[in-house]
């Protein structure tokens, strides 16, 4: 699996458990330790970079907007086959 350049957005931050529920650009959800994410808060977005030294999460101020736009485009591209719902 490649993460290079992938985008994560925090959906829910559980400060009591120290976990962040995040969604990636492919719609998959994960739980990550909140301490891994700099300036973590609900709605924060991060670029993920994998290198020889490990994984880096870099804040991306436009990331959440980009992910929402991608989701909207996916919905617009989806279409049912004509005639499927006819009585």
Q: Please state, rounded to an integer, the average pLDDT across all residues of the chain.
A: 78
pTM passes above 0.85: no
Overall average pLDDT of the 23-28 stretch: 83
* Residue 24, beta-bridge partner list: 8
**Cα(first)–Cα(last) distance of the chain, in Å?**
45
d(CA 8, CA 31): 11
Note the pLDDT tens digit of each residue in 34-68: 999 988 888 888 888 888 888 888 888 887 787 77
d(CA 76, CA 9): 21
């Amino acid at each position: 699996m490649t993460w290079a350049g992938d985008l994560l957005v925090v959906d829910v931050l559980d400060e009591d458990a120290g976990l962040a529920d995040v969604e990636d650009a492919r719609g998959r959800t994960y739980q990550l330790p909140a301490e891994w994410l700099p300036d973590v808060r609900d709605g924060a977005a991060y670029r993920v970079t994998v290198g020889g030294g490990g994984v880096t999460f870099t804040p991306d101020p436009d990331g959440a907007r980009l992910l929402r736009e991608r989701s909207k485009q996916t919905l617009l591209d989806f279409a049912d086959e004509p005639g499927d719902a006819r009585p």
